[in-house]
Amino acid sequence: RYDELMRAIRLWKHLLLLKRGGIGLLPGGVNDAEEGSCAVDCPACPREVPDIPEPSDAVTSITEFVMLDANFRLKSKQRNLRDPPLGGGLAYYVKKSVYMAHVLACGEQTEINVCDSGLHAIDHANTRGGSVYAASGVGACQCRHMLVKANGVGDLQKGEKYSNMDFIFASATKNSIAPRRVISYDIACQWHKHLHARLATIPNNYRPDIDRCVVEFVIPKFHIGAHGASCQSKFSLNYRPFMGRTDGENIERGWAWLNPASLSTREMGPGARQDALDDQWSFWNWRIVVSLGESVNSSS
């Protein structure tokens, strides 16, 4: 009865996700649940608080840091199964129908690499993957405190294309209220070019309003060593004011923790894999939240 047990475990984990998200308290239950409402949110990131005026130095004191990256170990083998996720769009994965509609509308994108770096994320944007894999990896967005953002993960079909990463970034930050946002990405020197024009092709309800805030693009401190002098002078966190000692590499620590699960998830059907990864990220976020007080005190 192994197969039956696996299905029961999957259903049980989904019910726990709904329970922890308070979905049972909604009048219509899961039908009334909003996208991303079952994700564990970061209590330390900027958020709107009623009846509290914005400080005069809000642009520098209220800053949201987000980290973007792709992981090509979290593949999914092509199994040709009809296996929809139980919690599609309710936690960390983006809503697949809207996401794929955008990616398909953008078509093949040829990224011209004019950066003098040794990174291959742009050169291989349309070459990684193949018919063996339904997903060549995942792209994700994390906050400064290492929590995976709600609706901040999407499968990559063929490399690290801008259309994928644009939508993941937009979906993860669409509700941000911070007057200043710092975006850390290992190819930020290339990706930030024409970003406004590309975001305009994303549906309005998934598009962040980055025209009314200060947006800064930086390259993580470990990765920037592989870039040339022009990138290091413009995108280094060491030369930017109001950055503290942020290294921008938090998302890499999350990959290191999650990578062992790839040996199991790549063999799953697409829906089971998505539900399993959502469950992993819920535990990752929850573990950080309950230890946040201790970690803040130890670093102060």
Span 65-76, mean pLDDT?
Answer: 95
Whether 274 is in a domain gets the answer: yes
Give 171 or 55, the one with higher predicted confidence. Answer: 171
Whether 177 is in a domain gets the answer: yes
Instruction: State the pTM of this model.
Output: 0.91
Give the Cα separation of 152 and 249 in Å (integer).
Answer: 17
Which 3 state secondary structure label does DSSP give 68? strand
Residue among 78, 77, 70 at smallest CA distance from 125: 70
* Residue 299 buriedness (CB in 10 A; 0-12 / 13-18 / 19+): exposed
Position 91 scores a pLDDT of 94
Give the Cα separation of 241 and 141 in Å (integer).
Answer: 23
Position 127 scores a pLDDT of 58
Give the Cα separation of 158 and 178 in Å (integer).
Answer: 33
Of 41-50, 109-118, 189-198, the least confident: 109-118
Domain count, the chain: 1
The pLDDT confidence band at residue 61, using thresholds 50, 70 and 90, is confident
β-strand partners of 103: none
Span 188-217, mean pLDDT?
Answer: 91
**DSSP string over 204-234:** GGG----TTSEEEEEB-TTGGGGS-HHHHHH
Neighbouring C-beta atoms of residue 67, cutoff 10 Å: 26
The predicted-structure confidence for 101-138, as pLDDT tens digits, reads as follows: 999 998 876 666 667 666 655 555 555 556 688 999 99
- The DSSP H or E segment spanning 83 is none
Position 48 scores a pLDDT of 75
Read off the tokens for 246: 């942020």
Of 13-27, 45-59, 148-162, 219-233, the least confident: 45-59
Measure the CA angle with vertex 214, ends 210 and 216; round to 5°.
Answer: 95
Asked if 217 contacts 183 with a C-beta cutoff of 8 angstroms, the reply is yes
Neighbouring C-beta atoms of residue 226, cutoff 10 Å: 14
Q: What share of the chain is helix, strand, coil (3-state, %, to 5)?
A: 40, 15, 45
Whether 275 is in a domain gets the answer: yes
β-strand partners of 140: 69, 153
Asked if 206 contacts 170 with a C-beta cutoff of 8 angstroms, the reply is yes
Of 20-29, 48-57, 218-227, the least confident: 48-57
Whether 16 is in a domain gets the answer: no
Percent of the chain with pLDDT over 70: 89
Read off the tokens for 36: 């991303």
Give the Cα separation of 270 and 76 in Å (integer).
Answer: 7
Whether 8 is in a domain gets the answer: no
Whether 10 is in a domain gets the answer: no
Of 23-37, 53-67, 104-118, 206-220, the least confident: 104-118
Position 124 scores a pLDDT of 57
Position 210 scores a pLDDT of 86
Which 3 state secondary structure label does DSSP give 272? helix
Position 119 scores a pLDDT of 61
Give the Cα separation of 224 and 235 in Å (integer).
Answer: 8
Q: Which domain holds residue 270?
A: 40-299
Alpha-carbon dihedral angle through residues 98, 101, 107, 113, given to the nearest 10 degrees:
0
The pLDDT confidence band at residue 80, using thresholds 50, 70 and 90, is confident
The predicted-structure confidence for 150-159, as pLDDT tens digits, reads as follows: 999 999 998 8
Q: Is the pLDDT of residue 73 over 70?
A: yes
Whether 21 is in a domain gets the answer: no
Asked if 280 contacts 90 with a C-beta cutoff of 8 angstroms, the reply is no
The predicted-structure confidence for 3-43, as pLDDT tens digits, reads as follows: 899 999 999 999 999 999 999 888 888 889 999 999 999 99
Give the Cα separation of 45 and 143 in Å (integer).
Answer: 8
Q: Is the pLDDT of residue 266 over 90?
A: yes
Whether 232 is in a domain gets the answer: yes
Span 141-169, mean pLDDT?
Answer: 94
Asked if 143 contacts 149 with a C-beta cutoff of 8 angstroms, the reply is yes
